[in-house]
Structure 1
């Protein structure tokens, strides 16, 4: 009976974590480049009373055995890097990635972070920076006297200066063997880890890398309806586990109240 109490408690903890992740997804439904998370669960070790296939006293073999589970636990939160929709902004420095890949930005400590958020601006020196002021890597400096800026699907950045087009740099992308292994840093940024593998750098459109779309931003891939369904499911699972605890407690109480006749 105590196993039922502990198993239900692990179920409640698991669904509480599930609800935390779902709530975070919903809170970032309007965050540019945000990728939804999912909790992965696994069942715990089993208490084996009789092993399947074990030989009984009369020489026969048990077809199923007797095993009792001990609940559930979360093994990880997985980012799902499916493509988000595109939102046309008309801003020449807004860039969306169509396909795989990440922009690279330099953090203040000199390390490289990765992002799908392509809302860039110019700083006081004309360099392209993200919303946090982190420099795009490799650095691209936009001249003050430019009249038009164009970013091709292949990442080549050109500007018009005195009626002539001038190439000022190329935006490269980073790709990973296992993007789900990236570490979430907040601020729409990720860091490489041993699980993600080293960054594979290349120009947009090369190999498995996606292409760029100027004047657009990639929206979050969170689907509100799906998250609401998942939230209801998590709530019901939590309620069922509380009911299991109440039922087990009631059975223990009845057993405790038994009296010898």
Structure 2
């Protein structure tokens, strides 16, 4: 009888419509991975095996297979949104437990405790204080303290065609020197331990000796000591004739009680002495210019935002221009992703069928990279799904027709006299 075949076909068609409907319903779900219904035939076996003349007895749904193809990447402008381009899943911790689960949904945000979360699931990775240990990433720095400047590296170009100033550079004075007493000057902003800014001013004075310059320094409005200049001597190629020892600036006691400079005596406080490394300074005919400037201090700052690199480093940005590493995101890949168990909320859990979890930083091993300020769209193609829906509908109608035809045949047999 054809009833059994028709009924099995109706069940299979209904399951296919369920799968198609779920795919269509999640066409706009970020990180969603579509599924497809897979079928197998049913065959009756006799005591002596399957006869070549035996007809099949229907079909069954053998599996609903997940399809982990890449979805389109859409830019969002939200710095905490992340998309995985390539293989791998974000590793997140289930709320209230230590269980690690997996997702492709990168719509992250900060909760009230500073954890990076998605629907309550906490994003995990390596933290600066525990490298190699997977734990939830937390932004606990609402501000960053000031750091006293310890050293300055300043390389300039002094003009080779400059003439000796007509006014002698002054002796110990508390006011700025006469501009006619030096050839060039530049200022560098430095910071003390409280984040207060100060100015270190460098004055370059051409001497009567060929290729020779004297450098004077001044800290804020402190008295200048003309007796302690640093001499720079240049060779015929415009380079320093030899290494120059760093210029030491003893700033004395700061009015605000702060300190500046390195902690050479290791007492926990800066020693109020700055150094300026002028190696790299040149003497060419071009105009005076600052070619290289590096300082290591900064004022205090507040958190202004977060950024994520394609390698998965989450960094906090502060108003003083400083960047601090919050953590390193990890991605988890599986030998058989189709073996993962979907749990809803765009979450999968590992199973023995999926294989062992392979944890890597983005771009390493077999995992992809991260694109920040973007999300991965659902991999559903609506056109294909609508065609599949039509096919499943016709499949259902055809199986219903076989049942109807079988019923007509039975009715004919019953009516025989």
Q: TM-score, normalised by structure 1?
A: 0.90
Structure 1 unmatched ranges of 5 or more: 55-64
Q: Which protein is richer in helix relative to its size?
A: 1
How many corresponding residue pairs? 245
Does residue 1:140 correspond to 2:128, yes or no?
Answer: no
Alignment of 1:96-135 (within 5 A): 96-107=83-94, 108-130=96-118, 132-135=119-122
Per the alignment, in what secondary structure is the counterpart of residue 180 of structure 1?
helix
Aligned partners of 1:75, 1:96: CA distance in 2, in Å?
32
Per the alignment, in what secondary structure is the counterpart of residue 66 of structure 1?
coil
Q: TM-score, normalised by structure 2?
A: 0.57
Per the alignment, in what secondary structure is the counterpart of residue 24 of structure 1?
helix
Aligned partners of 2:391, 2:97: CA distance in 1, in Å?
43
Q: In structure 2, what is the equivalent of residue 164 of structure 1? A: 322
How far does the alpha carbon of each residue in 1:41-79 deviate from its partner, in whole angstroms, 9 at most, with x for none?
100123569978x9xxxxxxxxxx312101000011111
Query: Whose radius of gyration is greater, 1 or 2?
Result: 2
Alignment of 1:76-225 (within 5 A): 76-107=63-94, 108-130=96-118, 132-138=119-125, 139-142=136-139, 143-144=141-142, 145-161=302-318, 162-225=320-383
Aligned partners of 1:237, 1:47: CA distance in 2, in Å?
26
How far does the alpha carbon of each residue in 1:182-232 deviate from its partner, in whole angstroms, 9 at most, with x for none?
111001100001111221111011111000000000000011110000000
Aligned partners of 1:239, 1:204: CA distance in 2, in Å?
48
Aligned partners of 1:129, 1:250: CA distance in 2, in Å?
61
Per the alignment, in what secondary structure is the counterpart of residue 354 of structure 2?
coil
Q: In structure 2, what is the equivalent of residue 6 of structure 1? A: 4
Aligned partners of 1:75, 1:124: CA distance in 2, in Å?
46
How far does the alpha carbon of each residue in 1:75-116 deviate from its partner, in whole angstroms, 9 at most, with x for none?
111110000001110000000000000001111232111000
Q: Does the Cα contact within 8 Å between 1:22 and 1:230 map onto a contact in 2? A: yes
Per the alignment, in what secondary structure is the counterpart of residue 387 of structure 2?
helix
Which of these residues, 11, 18, 21, is aligned with residue 19 of structure 2? Answer: 21
Q: Which protein is richer in strand relative to its size?
A: 2
Per the alignment, in what secondary structure is the counterpart of residue 82 of structure 1?
coil
Q: Does the Cα contact within 8 Å between 1:47 and 1:70 map onto a contact in 2? A: no
